[in-house]
Chains A and B, each alone.
Chain A
Amino acid sequence: MRNPGNVPCIYGEKMKKIPIIQLFVITACTLIIISCGSISIVFEMDLADSYLKPGTIAVVSGTNRDQDYMLAESITINLQKETGFKVMSQKEISEKVPDYFYKNIISGWEKTPADRDSRFWFSPENRKAVNALQKYLNTEYIFVVWSGEMNVNPSQPIGVAGACVLAIVTLGVAAPTGSVGASTISAISVNGRLLSYPDGDVIGYTADSFYNESCCIIMPFRTYNHEITDLLNNTGRDIALEMNKFTKNKEINKKRVWEPVK
């Protein structure tokens, strides 16, 4: 059946008149916005009914690796934006602490004794190192973060996205990158210890893997480093938002103990 009049359709003569570039741009825009992230446990307090007062806090990178610094910076920025904490910037920290980010602060994470819960474990040496920082920072809380394994794993396209990728491959746009037709999943394991002062006790922790997925169409324009940068930014935001849940007033948090959050 012929297409009557000027009604747009995907069959018949009208299809030939759809500009290919327009089709490509629409497809690209649609796929660019298909991205998502997923996480499970992000931040927990040591005691279930405890809470954080929105006082002064410094988020420090546990090692001198770029990913840990990026993570600390992302948590800092998001705590500043989303919470009532008085958050020390990374620049301020580097001005106060000699060789901050040039030297590792913590060490021995891998030496967690087998009989200890690794989520809470913080060796005496590491605690001493963070306590030494407190003399320079003078904040009520120090949150030290460091990462473990990082992964980038291209996976197979799914459904509509796959069809669109196939079209792109046919057009020859994405072929040179070696990442054709793949949505990319990046992951990082993150550890954090929140210390409260003046006591220097570990009162909260982060110990989890964080994931980010971005869709295929953007891969020709990005390196895997961009994927990790996105992952670190999103991870920092998620941790900051979760920490914010523990800064509610005491009554709300007590109630939370009796009525667990679903």
Chain B
Amino acid sequence: MKKTAFFLLAWQLILSGCASSHFSLVDPEYIFKSDRIAVVSGLDDEVSNYLAAELSKELNAKTTFKVMPAEEIIRRVPGYPMKIQGPYSASYFGIDEDYTRTDKNRIKKIMSKLDVDYLYVLWAPSVVQSSNSIEIYIITQLFEIPSFRDIAHSSYYIKYTAGDAFSIYRPVKNHISNATKKAVSIGGSKNMEDAVRDTAERAVKEIIEATGKGKPGR
């Protein structure tokens, strides 16, 4: 009976530890030697593009990275924004992460057009409306150019309140990243703009912690 109880406790702990992680370096010892970076959307929808642009602005404001403006990316990459298979096996309600599934060939095509040292790709494939809120699930991947080395992964979750009742329902508990748990516990945001700003700030703060690229005095 003790064995059974131990098994059940262990299983419960495994299940409770399945939340997706925030920004983390694939190689914790990796050192950033250069500064030029571009943030691109991995999907051609409005949400992913908006979020990529907001993250780009925040990176430009708070870090020493030299961030390529979105207008310049559009000018250089024909057909941008475009759909790129992201690092997930499914993304209907939340994201089932799988970093082996990224379409590297399409990313290489974009890389070849941009004169930067790093490419930060953002996907927001899942927008879930519940009874009184909207949740946006985001996943990102950072590549080194021209080696195409996979440098860092992250996943975020934005939640904001919605005034109307929606028919799509999805419990909030699964897939919440640690960063989002912090955001929700602080009190959450009232509208999409605030929620996106809060999350972009948090995301960039984590990037600074991992890369040491924060602007002095910030």
Contacts and interface: CB of A to CB of B under 8 A. Distances in A.
B8 interface: yes
Contacts of A172: 8-9, 12
Contacts of A173: 8, 11-12
28 contacts: A20-B1, A64-B44, A66-B92, A101-B83, A103-B83, A149-B167, A149-B168, A150-B168, A151-B168, A152-B93, A152-B169, A152-B170, A154-B171, A172-B8, A173-B12, A175-B12, A176-B15, A176-B16, A177-B173, A178-B172, A178-B173, A223-B90, A223-B93, A223-B175, A225-B90, A225-B96, A226-B90, A229-B92
Interface of B: 1, 4, 8-9, 11-12, 15-16, 44, 82-83, 89-94, 96, 125, 167-175
A151 B92 CA distance: 10
What 8 pairs between A and B have smallest CB-CB spacing? A178-B173, A225-B90, A224-B93, A228-B92, A176-B16, A176-B15, A102-B83, A178-B171
Interface string A19-34: 0110000000000000
Interface of A: 20-21, 64, 66-67, 101-103, 149-154, 171-173, 175-179, 220, 223-229
A103 B83 CA distance: 8
Given A177-B173, A177-B174, A225 B83 contact: no
B167 to A, nearest CB: 6
A66 B174 contact: no
Given A66-B91, A224-B170, A228-B92, 9 more contacts: A66-B125, A150-B93, A176-B16, A177-B173, A178-B174, A223-B90, A225-B90, A225-B91, A225-B93
Interface centre among A20, A102, A172, A229 (most CB of B within 10 A): A102
B32 to A, nearest CB: 32
Contacts of A150: 92-93, 168
